[in-house]
Amino acid sequence: MSTTLPTIHDVIIVGAGPCGLAVAARIHEQTPSAVFTDEEHQRYHWIKKHTSKMKLIQAGRCKKNGVRAEKWNRGEQPPCSCEGPAADAPPSRRRSSGSISSVPSLSSDRSTLPESSTSVLVLDGTSQHWMQRWNNAFCTLEIKQLRSPMFFHVDPGDRDGMLAYTQEVGRENDLWEISGCVGKEMSKHKKKKRRQSGKPQTIGVEIDERDRKDYYSPSTDLFAEYCESIIRRYGLDHPDQILKSEVTDIAYDYLPDNLDITQSSCKIFTLITSTGEKVYSRAAVLAMGAGGAGIQKIYPWKPSNSAEGTDACCHSMDIKTFPSPRVQAKIQHRQETHIVIVGGGLSSAQILDMAIKKGITKVWLLMRSEFKVKHFDISLPWMGKYKNWEKAAFWSADTDEERLEMIINARNGGSITPRYTKIVKEHVSRHRASVHTHTEITSHSFNPDTQLWTLSTDPPIPNLPPVDYVYFATGARSDIREMPLLSNMHKQYPIETIGGLPCLTDDLMWRDDVPLYITGRLGGLRLGPGAPNLEGARLGAERIAWSLEEVLGQDREIGDRCEGFCGLGNRYASLIGSAEGGDER
């Protein structure tokens, strides 16, 4: 009796969002760009190696001009400042070191790239297409612009790839300048804190003027097209690449002898889907975003019955149609409508703006804390000229508890961009919206007959009418201990967790002996405050690719097929000693 041997993939990626796409693209990239310059890598590792043997002098304290020129690659010459365009010109009129003049066409066909021998399967519970959940969320809330700057993307081939792509396809009009953060003078309070912490004081700005080209945000359509170009470039759009299926369990063990005799001495991953199907791989990557399993939505109160959950309130992550059918019917009959939004993040402002545009009579925005205005969801020092100082301090921290505290301080809860702050204030001035900070809902009751909420708050809101609908834009928390698909992994290969985040290896691996990688939000203790962002997706993919080269190369057969699959191995090793009369030197 013969038994059909199962297909064992090299890598299975769980999640087809930005983090999953970043990993898949990075695996197929033969010549990846550096996340940091060679100088930065060398200096950081040298400092870490000799940290107890030498004294460091802060470069910013030097009275002389200590600014070093960028390291120009590929024989390029730095642009002449007297011949270049004005500094305040839009990015389409300037050319960065990673622009289309120095890289291949970003919309190049897959035939121009070498084929990767790595077998990759993607599992996603939403769709058989990349970025579907991401695109659906932006479409539902009618968000036209990303919050992220130009260098936050998933392209492993070029740090400035999105800017170059924008120039190549002629879509410069799809860029919005992120005004007010480049060349921004620090307040006296910030200068004092920076001086006490020993950070450089020579130049009192958060983001250098020379980086202005990076601080434009793309439209959601432009970003979606850019991701599609990355998918085509690496041949990630073939029909069998993504399997639409929810993963319910992950196990790492030996295969039974009756299934795979030749590989019985090697442990592999068995992933079980919601349909009962089993798939196998040598390594696995969890790249699930905000909507994935184990992400716990935060509610001021949990809806008590199905009627409340569908017709009267919902979490912002669960919005399918906006407004709800019942509210939409009242608008069409020209009846007054009132909704309450709970939350102080950008999603709350976007829902408020969309509600008023849809015809809601008045929107009440309730925040538990103050109204925080920030360009990004992490503080500017993590984005600008001092970001490597911040990241080095994070990676050099003594404990994961210290890293978690740094993450909390850098993110500091929900915040709203200056652009949406202006929009909210305009609605308030027209009496279409009312914003209440430091306010919490103390009691709530839903009348099934009138289909209206009666809410009480602390402090009380004068003249708060009965409410048609409540939206919880209160975010979510991540706790890896609450993820059902990892219950077996916790039992067989227990690891420590801090604040719900796993204490992974530096390579984002579950343990040194378990090649299960975790990127994105859940990799925060290793990636830093930017882990849930597009920057964290790209940085996490870089670390995972380096480790996969070693893990898959441990088996001679696998190593022979996969050497150099992520741009790390010696692609010319087979030529050593092959020439007649040559030696191995």
DSSP 8-state assignment for residue 323: S
User: The whole model's pTM is what?
Assistant: 0.78
Report the C-alpha gap between 224 and 230 in whole angstroms.
10
Give the helix ranges, DSSP H, for 436-555. Answer: 487-492, 524-527, 534-553
Smallest CA-to-CA distance from 289 within 157, 124, 455 is with 124
Q: Is the fold of 1-35+88-167+222-296+476-585 the same as that of 299-377+413-474? A: yes
Q: What is the DSSP letter of 320?
A: -
The whole-number pLDDT of residue 115 equals: 53
Q: What is the pLDDT of residue 95?
A: 34
The CATH code for residues 299-377+413-474 is 3.50.50.60
**pLDDT at position 157:** 87
Q: Which of 120, 109, 166, 149 is nearest to 25 (CA)?
A: 120
Residue 380: how many CA atoms within 13 Å on its side-chain side? 21
In the chain, domain spans: 1-35+88-167+222-296+476-585, 299-377+413-474
- 3-state DSSP call for residue 388? helix
- Looking at residue 472, what is its pLDDT? 95
Instruction: Identify the pLDDT of residue 389.
Output: 79
pLDDT at 429: 97
Q: Torsion over CA of 413, 414, 417 and 421, rounded to 10 degrees?
A: -120
Residues in the chain where the model's pLDDT stays below 50: 1-2, 38, 41, 54-114, 185-188, 199-204, 260-264, 556-585
Q: What is the DSSP string of 160-206?
A: THHHHHHHHHT-GGGEEE-TTSBTPBPPHHHHHHHHHHT---SS-BS
Point out which residues pair with 275 in neighbouring strands. none
369 C-beta neighbours (distance < 10 Å), count: 13
For residues 281 and 271, the answer to whether their CB atoms sit within 8 Å is yes
The span from the CA of 418 to the CA of 375, in Å, is 6
d(C-alpha 422, C-alpha 432), whole Å: 14
SS3 429: helix
- Please tell me the predicted confidence (pLDDT) of residue 443: 93
Helix, strand, coil percent values for the chain (each to nearest 5): 35, 20, 50
The residue type found at 67 is V
> Is 1-35+88-167+222-296+476-585 in CATH node 3.30.420.10?
no
- Phi, psi at residue 205, to the nearest 5°? -130, 150
Is there a cis peptide before residue 484, judged by omega within 30 degrees of 0? no
Helix (H, G, I), strand (E, B) or coil at 76: coil
Across the beta sheet with 469-472, what order do the strands follow?
313-315, 469-472, 338-342, 362-366, 433-436
